Chain A
Amino acid sequence: MADAPSGRSLVVDAVTHRYPSGSLAVEDINLDIKGGEIIALLGPSGCGKTTLLRIIAGFIAQTQGRIIIGDDIVDMLPPNRRSVGIVFQNYALFPHLSISENVAYGLAARGIDKATRQREAQRLLDLVQLPAMAERLPRQLSGGQQQRVALARALAIKPSILLLDEPFAALDKNLRLDMQIEVKRLQRVSGITTLIVTHDQEEALSMADRVAVLSHGNLEQFGTPSDVYDRPQTLFVNTFVGSTNRMPGVVVSADRTAAKIRLDAGTEIIARPVGGALSEGGRVTVCIRPEHLQFVGDETGFAGVVGMSLPLGATVVHEVTTADGSGVKVSQARIGETRALENGAAVRLAPLAPSLANAFPATL
């Protein structure tokens, strides 16, 4: 019993779910998750994250598709036989049971004797660094401590898969960081396959081996944090993950790997075409992240006028209005005493490198 449970794989195979009310919550989702991986399900509120989580846990029977855990198709199994541990957003601790009874609840359901149960509960409470809380009631613990108990309770049943639904949303910023590290540490020692639902892109990028980005029930991209951040496959991913400037333009010439775009802001730049071939003369949206723009001294790049400058600690963000009247943000690392930019100063901007600009066919 002491050895770490080896994580089992999880396959979400073409899962679609339509609620009886008619709303299509998730559509044709495919995820192939390896044993021991930590995956973030990232997307804005209402995009279907919770629905997908509840389908995996067995609380909702999907209208189409299969859920496969390890080698087993689990669609016919009720939640209590799927061996899936869940940490709910509001923790859902049993308010009338002590902390150790909460943690041991799943073991009692498995008919394990009381002495073993107590020993195991204590071991898990030690693991989540709450060794002295066993006899308290949930309401006597702080939010962060309750979260640890919820985690210990879910881990106690040695689940094949651990699901966490927006687990840190209710915590303040410092505590959130502590808990993110804690969860990652526990995930590493237990090796359990973990799925974290979040709408916080930083959380997704920092915690997960791979990130699945959802929008309106559709899977936009499933890849490593750097895939998702550096090589977004859709305009939605590019704008939702990290911040980005969207600059409209027209295709001058294009092949598979590079496109020359005439920006409405008044210059031609080279960008990476994404999402299929671009046709000459077609309108595109070019995405360039604020940290990938630089001020240039010569006549290259496009012109703009500096508006507000926001010093954000390690970086300074400048708002620049371009010739076509749209605004772009430029983020500069603050190295020593950065040159202060006057409000109203005329500047020229260019991407750091062509590969850092992404061109997407413009949608109406």
Chain B
Amino acid sequence: MGAAPASRDVTSYGMGLAAPLALFFLLFFVAPLLQLFWLSLHNDTAGLHWGLGQYLHFLTDPFSLGVLGSTLLLGAEVTAVCLVLGFPIAWLYQRVGPKLQTIIILIVLLPLLTSVVVRTFAWIVILGRQGIINAALQSLGIIDTPLKLLYTQFGVVIALAQVQMPLMTLPLITALGRIDSNLDDASCSLGAGSWRTFFRIVLPLSLPGVIAGCTLTYAAAITAFITQSLVGGGQMLFMPMYLYQQASTLQNWPFAAAISIIFLLAVLAVVSVFTTLGRLSRGHGGA
């Protein structure tokens, strides 16, 4: 009976306590975003003429659209690699003893303990012409001339996948941990083999984790400026670098702002597709 006034008290306290953070967000997140948008609505670098010219330019320029497309594709590739490699790790984690669990979680978290820059340079060492992979393959006599791994799409995807892996694995571990292990047993005792159990029970029930992991990995992969530029090198251009060139090198601030807004909308669109999928999968039985 006394619960209602008590809970109202809690919310009114909560509002007051949230004010500093809300103010912080308003000042350092919403305001710059609005300024960015305002900037993108100018047709010239001096900022004298209003108009949608920057957007028109981007959307009619095959080169710009190509950069956007390859960035979104990169995100999809990295997400797919993380999902395919991360799911078995998370699945394994839920089926081994506590000692192995500690080791797995350590391996999963290890990338987060070193800086992205350091990890990226490590990948340059691994993938380079005289890198570990090429040296090993050559000394084994499998190849004669070094493979080109660095500065390729393959290299960027692999490096990004390693860097972003925890973002996929952690939500998956949580989601799989929530599944009652009796469900596996029930499915099996009803005559289902491991594959049917996996696709009909484990995968659908872990979808919230899959969606969360994919959203995080995707967003992180397409905005990973450092890894993209260092492992991708000069030949490959993705949105963050494109934006940086326009803003810093060419001083074309309105166009850079428009790129930002378009990129932001594209990311939001992809993320909302993920969330919608998630909501659909939870709402209905999945035939």
Where the two chains meet, the residues of A that have a C-beta atom closer than 8 Å to any C-beta of B are 57-59, 78-86, 88, 90, 92-98, 101, 105-106, 109-110, 137, 153-154, 156-157
Which residues of the partner chain B approach A85 to less than 8 Å between Cβ atoms? 189-190
Which residues of the partner chain B approach A79 to less than 8 Å between Cβ atoms? 185, 188-189
Closest 9 A/B residue pairs (Cβ): A106-B190, A92-B182, A109-B191, A109-B192, A92-B186, A79-B188, A86-B189, A88-B182, A80-B191
C-alpha spacing A81/B192, complex, angstroms: 9
Which residues of the partner chain B approach A93 to less than 8 Å between Cβ atoms? 186
Q: Tell me the residues in window 46-72 of chain B with beta carbons closer than 8 Å to chain A beta carbons.
A: none
Cβ proximity bits B158-187 to A, threshold 8 Å, 1 near / 0 not: 000000000000000000000010110111
Nearest CB on A from B29, distance (A) = 37
Which of A58, A82, A88, A101 contacts B186 (CB under 8 A)? A88
Where the two chains meet, the residues of B that have a C-beta atom closer than 8 Å to any C-beta of A are 180, 182-183, 185-193, 196, 200-201, 204-205, 282, 285-286
Interface residues of B, dominant DSSP = helix
Which residues of the partner chain B approach A90 to less than 8 Å between Cβ atoms? 180, 182
Which of A92, A106, A110, A153 contacts B185 (CB under 8 A)? A92
Which residues of the partner chain A approach B192 to less than 8 Å between Cβ atoms? 80, 105-106, 109
Which residues of the partner chain A approach B182 to less than 8 Å between Cβ atoms? 88, 90, 92
| Contact call A80/B186, Cβ cutoff below 8 A | no
Which residues of the partner chain B approach A106 to less than 8 Å between Cβ atoms? 190-192
C-alpha spacing A80/B195, complex, angstroms: 12
Which residues of the partner chain A approach B191 to less than 8 Å between Cβ atoms? 80-81, 83, 106, 109-110, 157
CB pairs A–B below 8 angstroms (15 shown)? A57-B189, A59-B189, A80-B193, A81-B191, A86-B186, A90-B180, A92-B180, A94-B186, A96-B204, A96-B285, A97-B285, A97-B286, A106-B191, A106-B192, A109-B192
Which residues of the partner chain A approach B282 to less than 8 Å between Cβ atoms? 96
Which residues of the partner chain A approach B204 to less than 8 Å between Cβ atoms? 96
| Contact call A157/B190, Cβ cutoff below 8 A | yes
Query: Which residue of A97, A110, A153 has the most chain B CB atoms within 10 A of its CB atom?
Result: A97
Nearest CB on B from A174, distance (A) = 26
Which residues of the partner chain B approach A156 to less than 8 Å between Cβ atoms? 190
C-alpha spacing A165/B192, complex, angstroms: 20
| Contact call A78/B186, Cβ cutoff below 8 A | no
C-alpha spacing A95/B179, complex, angstroms: 10
Which residues of the partner chain A approach B286 to less than 8 Å between Cβ atoms? 96-97
Residue of B nearest to A21 (CB): B97
* A88/B190 contact (C-beta < 8 A), A96-B205, A109-B196 known: no
Residue of B nearest to A84 (CB): B189
Residue of B nearest to A98 (CB): B285
Additional A-B contact list (19), CB under 8 Å, known A94-B201, A106-B192: A59-B189, A79-B189, A80-B191, A80-B193, A82-B189, A84-B189, A85-B190, A90-B180, A90-B182, A92-B180, A94-B186, A94-B200, A96-B204, A96-B205, A97-B286, A105-B190, A106-B190, A109-B187, A156-B190
| Contact call B190/A109, Cβ cutoff below 8 A | yes
C-alpha spacing A83/B191, complex, angstroms: 7
| Contact call B285/A137, Cβ cutoff below 8 A | yes
* A59/B185 contact (C-beta < 8 A), A80-B193, A96-B286 known: yes
Which residues of the partner chain A approach B189 to less than 8 Å between Cβ atoms? 57-59, 79-80, 82, 84-86, 154
* A78/B188 contact (C-beta < 8 A), A90-B180, A97-B285, A98-B285 known: yes
| Contact call A80/B188, Cβ cutoff below 8 A | yes
| Contact call B188/A92, Cβ cutoff below 8 A | no
| Contact call B185/A105, Cβ cutoff below 8 A | no
C-alpha spacing A92/B187, complex, angstroms: 9
Which residues of the partner chain A approach B183 to less than 8 Å between Cβ atoms? 92, 94
C-alpha spacing A357/B236, complex, angstroms: 92
Nearest CB on A from B94, distance (A) = 16
Which of B180, B187, B193, B205 contacts A105 (CB under 8 A)? B187
Nearest CB on A from B170, distance (A) = 22
Nearest CB on A from B240, distance (A) = 38
Which residues of the partner chain B approach A59 to less than 8 Å between Cβ atoms? 185, 188-189
C-alpha spacing A101/B196, complex, angstroms: 14
| Contact call B188/A101, Cβ cutoff below 8 A | no
C-alpha spacing A93/B182, complex, angstroms: 9
Residue of B nearest to A100 (CB): B285
C-alpha spacing A93/B180, complex, angstroms: 10
